[in-house]
Structure 1
Amino acid sequence: MTLSIRIEARQQQSLVMTPQLLQSIRLLQLGHQDLRAHLEREADRNPFIELHEPHSGGKGRVRAAMPASPSAKPSLPTSTGAASSDGTERLAETRAETRSLEAHASAEIAEIFACRTDRAVAFALVGALDEAGYFREDVDAFSLAHGHEAETVGRVLARLRAQAEPAGLFAADLAQCLALQLDRRGRLDPVAETVLAHLDLVARGDLATLRRLTGEDEAGIAELIGEIRRLEPKPGRLFDTADRVSVVPDVVVTGAPAKGWRVELNAAILPRVLVDERYAARVAAGPLSREERDFLSDCRASAQWLTRALDQRSRTITKVAAEIVQRQSGFFAHGPQGLKPMTLASVAEATGLHESTVSRVTTDKFMQTPRGTFEMKFFFTTAIASSAGGEAHSAGGVKHRIRRLVDAETPDAVLSDDDIAARLQGEGIEIARRTVAKYREALGIASSVQRRRALAMRRIAS
């Protein structure tokens, strides 16, 4: 065998990821909060970038008018400017002006304690509360870490649990939280204490075991459980928290089935990015070194590219959103049961985009509709075959149907997974029992045995 050396020329294609292409991809994937932070950083480092917050004027949305006919393609006229103030008020899901848990607890401490030392310990305890309003730390470890006597911490903690409002604040766990609330009502007797010590039995609806442990009859146990279920398991959630984030939609869908749907990009959530050309011209006219001119030239080109990239981002999001609305018109007209099977690949093919681009567009983006605000990923659902050979059903629509069947149950007619599968098959949905069980668990619906016990308890309590 002999070896020989030769030169060959081969031609092949490859995608070169330029820095600008990588940046465009990143801009497309960012949610509006992360994008705003990115724009602010760019404005800080680039003297030619100006950020203008949205103001009234009614020119702030990229629009896609959806025709009433589902067969007609939407047009995509665009406009620039800021979104109207009334649009901002309509879109933002604002939270109520509530006091923070820390502020409320501090006010309670001021009323309960007169001693300065006790107040200092109490304020330290407030800092250790979790979002539920529980104090879950070990008292001895907490005392050592904060330089207080364990006896003092225990005494102050006990007083807070006994007097702070709402009842249940500073509890160590769920059972103690509920016990504190019953105690304030004068309902914490030995039977209640036994039931609270076996909350797992309450969750399972195991009345027989609870009766055996407490010696109480079934009606008494059911009444007590009904009262426990009406208590607040997380008193801390009644107050505002610093890290609670409002969901603001990126896209808004308005209209009606007969008139067609309008898809609008909510430009009110982001500042407008402008290139200060006057400043650029004034600086360029001054005496500058070559390095300074190169730097300013790069900054100007970067600013111009950013405005183009943001405009392309807006148009891409609107294009994908319009396609989603057109394909899921049944959802907007009839609700979740009107969802149709839809994949990233099908939307990508219809819009002429890459599947990965559609995935980035729908990640961390929200759509406000007449039926609520949904993540754009919500509208993508797999297909379930029709037993009659007709049009396939969407997994989302089938889940909604399962929920409706369970909600209609009575204590004497609780459906098993087999029963639900049979009902759905009777409606032309080809589905197996194990798929029903998987969807039921995904919806957070208990098993038929647990639902039967819960319905029986409610009937007894009523």
Structure 2
Amino acid sequence: MTPQLQQAIKLLQLSNLELTEYVEQELERNPLLEEAREEGEPERASDDYEPDEITPDNDWDTPDPASLTLSEDNALPTSNSDLDTDYDNVYADEAVADKTATAEGQQSSDWHQVKSAGGGFDGEEDFESRLTREQSLQEFLSEQLNMSTLNARERFIGAYLIDQVNEAGYLQESLEDTAERLGIEMEEAESVLKVLQTFEPTGVFARNLAECLSLQLAEKDRLDPIMQSFLENLELFAKRDFTQLMKVCGIDKDDIQCLIDDIKQCDPKPGHAFGDTPSAPVIPDVFIRQKSDGGWAIELNAETLPRVLVNTQYYNEVSKAASADEKSKNYLSECFNDANWLVKSLDQRARTILKVASEIVRQQDGFLMYGVSHLKPLNLKTVADAISMHESTVSRVTSNKYAATPRGIFELKYFFTSSIASSSGGEAHSAEAVRHRIKELIDAEAPDAVLSDDSIVDILKSEGMDIARRTVAKYREALRIPSSVQRRREKKAFA
């Protein structure tokens, strides 16, 4: 696999901010590259090109985003057809490239494990940076989320809430706004948050200081009614109005000193254990907005995309001066080829991201309109086949790329969910939707008509969901719902 091919493949994996860092390195290294800075140049992608408009009658052709990375002075291709013979095949043959890379120890198919540390493309540098880089709070919380007993739907909600945690460990968005944005009930949002608040460091996902302290005190078994009363009146403590505080809590001077000592053992900003440097905010790579006619428009975040061009005039002048020096001539030729390839790679990367994002939006239109309950089953192959690309290309594009949607900012890979086959041979059902239906059935059961797992299977099959009994049991346990025998006993006890 040539260095240029490695570059083209790996550029796909980078987020816009990581791409900018890499291009800056190339600008310093290559004298024939320069940043495109035109006077009066528009800042938004929508001013440079017409974004992909997604409507029921759309033919799903991807717009040409070449203007995002090429200046008009570049004699490089500006349409997909211009690239068919010399560039698109790079991505079509990625399966071969991946095998070659693995044989050489490059392991390009696992590039996402390296790029998460940031930096350039050199494997050794990235590996070292991974060893020395501090783990972020979001990464630490995501690891715990992946090991939790939450089901896929709840993990989706949990991943969104993790993105709302600031560097101190507090939840920035209200749970009401989260429920409305994701199209879920408050009870479900509260249930997921309750699990997330058991994560380390203790006190994360608190919505205010009192809740943060109560989570830590509860772990130490110090959250008794008197302490709860103290936390409910923290404003008196802040004012140092101890007389009124003792009166409200019904305690004396010695007792209040004990409460204060317990409070001092808590960490009001548990997230700061991961370093004083605030976590970098998530910057969307793609904007998805709804149009007035109900369709969707997609555009790249041009503000974070680097724009470069090849200075052919400088190349021609220097080439003439260095024509007698073979070494200098070869160096200039290499720089010229690398510069042209980088510009091509940036152009193709933009087109590829738009193609993938457009297909994801078409597949997950229900989620964008109505929320998590309408997520459709989706896998990499479905998207790859629809846009005639290799699965590995789609995998790279969806990793560490974020889309700003009317429901919030999500990583593109979040839109891929497992499926349950239809018993009638129709469209498959999302596993999350099936779990939600199982919970609805159990919540609605009467004390004298508790549903067994077999009964649930029969009901689901009558509704077109082909599911096995053991799968129902697995989903029920993931929802932390007891067996029919236990439920029957509990319902009779409280009848």
| Common fold by TM > 0.5 | yes
Aligned AA (2:381): A
Give the conservation status (yes or no) of the 8 Å contact 1:133–1:237. Answer: yes
SS class of match (2:220): helix
Distance 1:132 1:382, change over 3 A: closer
Name the % identity. 42
1:65 aligned to 2:53? yes
Which structure carries more relative contact order (alpha carbon 8 Å, separation 6+)?
2
Q: Which residue of 1 aligns with 2:342?
A: 306
Which of 292, 299, 302 is the aligned partner of 1:267?
A: 302
Which of 74, 86, 102 is the aligned partner of 2:60?
A: 74
Q: Which residue of 1 aligns with 2:311?
A: 276
Q: Deviations for 1:414-451, whole angstroms, at most 9, x for unmatched residues? A: 98766765554453222234323444566xx33348x9
Cα distance between partner residues in 2 of 1:276 and 1:407: 68
Cα distance between partner residues in 2 of 1:388 and 1:327: 21
Q: Which residue of 1 aligns with 2:480?
A: 446
1:387 aligned to 2:374? no
Aligned AA (2:407): R
Shift of 1:26: 1.0
Aligned length: 323
Cα distance between partner residues in 1 of 2:319 and 2:475: 64
Shift of 1:43: 1.9
List aligned pairs for 1:149-164, cutoff 5 A.
none
Q: Which residue of 2 aligns with 1:254?
A: 289
TM-score by length of 2: 0.53
Which of 47, 52, 55 is the aligned partner of 2:31?
A: 47
Cα distance between partner residues in 1 of 2:461 and 2:53: 38
Distance 1:176 1:367, change over 3 A: same
Shift of 1:22: 1.8
Cα distance between partner residues in 2 of 1:67 and 1:98: 37
Which of 450, 453, 472 is the aligned partner of 1:436?
A: 472
Unaligned 5+ residue runs, structure 1? 1-16, 84-92, 102-129, 135-164, 188-232
Q: Which residue of 1 aligns with 2:43?
A: 56
Aligned AA (1:359): S
Which of 270, 285, 294 is the aligned partner of 2:330?
A: 294
Q: Which residue of 2 aligns with 1:19?
A: 3
Q: Deviations for 1:98-134, whole angstroms, at most 9, x for unmatched residues? A: 8969xxxxxxxxxxxxxxxxxxxxxxxxxxxx96579
Give the conservation status (yes or no) of the 8 Å contact 2:19–2:306. Answer: no
Q: Which residue of 1 aligns with 2:13?
A: 29
Give the conservation status (yes or no) of the 8 Å contact 2:34–2:311. Answer: yes
SS class of match (2:280): coil
Give the conservation status (yes or no) of the 8 Å contact 2:32–2:314. Answer: yes
TM-score by length of 1: 0.56
Shift of 1:314: 0.9
Q: Which residue of 2 aligns with 1:87?
A: none
Unaligned 5+ residue runs, structure 2? 70-160, 170-199, 232-265
Shift of 1:366: 2.2
Over the aligned positions, Cα root-mean-square deviation in angstroms equals: 4.6
Aligned AA (2:53): A
Distance 1:96 1:413, change over 3 A: same
Distance 1:46 1:407, change over 3 A: farther
Which of 322, 325, 331 is the aligned partner of 2:361?
A: 325
Shift of 1:394: 2.2
Distance 1:41 1:438, change over 3 A: farther
Cα distance between partner residues in 1 of 2:443 and 2:406: 23
Q: Which residue of 2 aligns with 1:343?
A: 379
